[in-house]
Amino acid sequence: MQRPNSSSPTSPVANRPQNPPNPVKSAPNSGLLSAVVVVASLGYFVDIYDLILFSIVRVKSLAELGIVDKVAVKTQGEYLLSMQMGGMLLGGILWGILGDKKGRLSVLFGSILMYSLANLANAYVHTLEQYAWLRLIAGIGLAGELGAGITLVSESLPKERRGLGTMIVATVGVSGAMLGYWVGSRLGWRTAYLVGGGLGLALLVLRVSVFESGMFQKTKESTVARGNFLALFTNTRLLGRYLRCLLIGVPLWFVVGILITFSPEFADTLGVRVPASEAPVTAGLAVFWCYFGLVFGDFFSGGLSQLLKSRNRALQIFLAFCTLMVGVYLFGLRGATPTFFYGVCFVVGISVGFWALFVTVAAEQFGTNLRATVATTAPNFARGAVVLLVPAFRWAEAHLGGRITGAAALGGLTLVVAFWAVSTLPESFGKDLDYNEPT
């Protein structure tokens, strides 16, 4: 009678090859500054650059396409954002399955190639429909990089150091938003898309220095089913764990997709006063300062999880901090100046800087045969929650007493649910990841 694998009580030894081959060329991936960490970090940098670029150039790009009416800019902007996020939902499933079936490395570079080409094409659009379809394609491409990168880093580094590796990926990656703001505001929106596409294509030359995960190579040699996305919904134990992972990431996209993206509207409602020496609040600058804060937040949350030796406790602390800062944003800015408003956006960004920690937890919760599927779909479903959060916010705004109370109700709900999800997940710090899930 076979005994269960001690590293995972849910994973039978039968799911492993009896004499797994030694992974080929896996050693170069094992350092904190190894090629896999560098490439994953730079890939996420370009990913975030493109992901946030539309929010920065939305008004300018739509104006050049002949859409200048405020209502039309708002509705068409939301349409384009929905196309991008819809693409990410589709891409999350596609790349996640491919990551477990074909390999983490194939997805990492395939996704970078797709969104880079879409970026280049975005620079030459002349109609709204062209813009929309290219944002859909870009969204599909953007869906794969982070999950594949985090999975590859998590499986390549020693278990005691993988949190530091994903912390580096996130810290470098989210700073792409700041470059996006600078390029978008200084060089024009078409040039900004060209720069993003060029950066992505340049990154592909580093492919030769990155090697596939040894854990994936072992699983590939076995007969276990890999990338079975439906198993996450037909197995109640897996489903419960998966849904809780998803819910942890939703508050970040409430903050970015609602509070920061619609910051000019919130500033008007809050009565932010504009001195003669300052300009009114813009979404581009709010995004810049929020993502600048995210750089520090991802660094601190990753480091805190290592210091506490607990992913869950670090996430709980940051969710509590986020709750405090959402309250400050909604109820503490009346009569503030734009400078003070941006300062709060910066601290709000720090408070939601647990994105890579969230993806790391999702990756660590599942076996090698489903890890890429979960690590890729979870962040994209959380990002895609914006598609539901925006109409939910509009409903709350209309029925719960206005923009501020509606946002407070929706934000409070996402934070409470996320805190519950973290509190009921098994701790994954230092967990041995070399096992498979029974599907």
Any residues with CB less than 8 A from the CB of 112 and at least 6 apart, and which? Answer: 43, 46, 47, 141, 145, 200, 203, 204
Mean pLDDT of 390-414: 93
Q: Which of 46, 13, 180, 163 is nearest to 113 (CA)?
A: 46
Mean pLDDT of 50-68: 83
pLDDT at position 407 over 80: yes
pLDDT at position 8 over 50: no
pLDDT digit string (tens) for 327-357? Answer: 999 999 988 999 999 999 999 999 999 988 9
Contact status, residue 346 vs residue 292, Cβ threshold 8 Å: yes
Amino acid at 107: V
The model's pTM is 0.82
In this prediction, residue 382 carries a pLDDT of 86
pLDDT-derived band at 15, boundaries 50, 70, 90: very low
pLDDT at position 11 over 70: no
Domains, the chain, in order of start with CATH, read 34-211+230-424 (1.20.1250.20)
pLDDT at position 34 over 60: yes
pLDDT at position 19 over 70: no
In this prediction, residue 208 carries a pLDDT of 65
pLDDT digit string (tens) for 217-275? Answer: 888 888 888 888 998 999 999 999 999 999 999 999 899 989 998 899 999 999 998 88
Angle, in degrees to the nearest 10, between helices 283-308 and 263-270: 100
Taking the CA atoms of residue 67, residue 72, residue 73 and residue 77 in that order, the dihedral angle to the nearest 10 degrees is: -110
Contact status, residue 26 vs residue 149, Cβ threshold 8 Å: no
Mean pLDDT (the chain) is 86
**Going along 151-291, which residue ranges are E strands?**
none
